[in-house]
Amino acid sequence: MTYQIEISSVAKAEADKAFQWLCQVAPIETARNWYQELLKTIESLSEMPRRCPLARENNYFSKEIRQLLYGRGRNSYRIIFTIVESQEVSIVRILHIRHVAQQTIGESQDETDSGKG
- pTM equals 0.87
Whether residue 113 is contained in a domain is answered as no
Paired sense of beta strands 4-7 and 90-99, if any: parallel
Domain count for the chain: 1
Whether residue 116 is contained in a domain is answered as no
Whether residue 26 is contained in a domain is answered as yes
Q: How do residues 52-94 score in pLDDT, each as one tens digit? A: 999 999 998 899 999 999 998 888 999 999 999 988 899 999 9
CATH number at residue 69: 3.30.2310.20
Please give the residue range of the domain that contains residue 32.
4-104
Residue of 100, 102, 94 lying closest to 75 (CA atoms): 100
Whether residue 109 is contained in a domain is answered as no
Q: How do residues 100-114 score in pLDDT, each as one tens digit? A: 999 888 776 554 444
SS3 101: coil
Q: Is 48 left (phi over 0), alpha (psi -120 to 50) or beta?
A: left
Whether residue 117 is contained in a domain is answered as no
Whether residue 111 is contained in a domain is answered as no
